[in-house]
Amino acid sequence: MSKKIEKIKEAIEKSDKLSKEHKEKALSKVQEWYLEDKAEGLLAKELLKITKEITPILEEIGLI
């Protein structure tokens, strides 16, 4: 997990302004954001890989 995410999680956990329930909800949301960002990065990487592999085929059949 990135250092920024870890800092956010630590700040939430140490906060005396949030109830236990709010901390749990906030930590859950931060985890959700982290997973979404990670998934988007993986998706982009895989799409680039597929594009490189399929481009010659698309050129060959005249679609590009």
* Domain edges within the chain: 3-60
pTM: 0.62
User: What does the DSSP 8-state code read for residue 16?
Assistant: S
Find out whether 13 and 27 touch, Cβ atoms under 8 Å: yes
- Estimate to the nearest angstrom the gap between the alpha carbon of 25 and the chain centroid: 18
Q: Are 24 and 42 in contact (CB under 8 A)?
A: no
Report residue 30 as tokens: 């931060």
Give the per-residue pLDDT at 28. 95
pLDDT number for residue 22: 95
Are the C-beta atoms of residues 5 and 34 closer than 8 Å to each other? yes
- The token duo for 57 is 């085929």
pLDDT of residue 1: 63
- Which pLDDT score, from 0 to 100, does residue 54 have? 86
Instruction: Flag residues of the chain having pLDDT under 70.
Output: 1
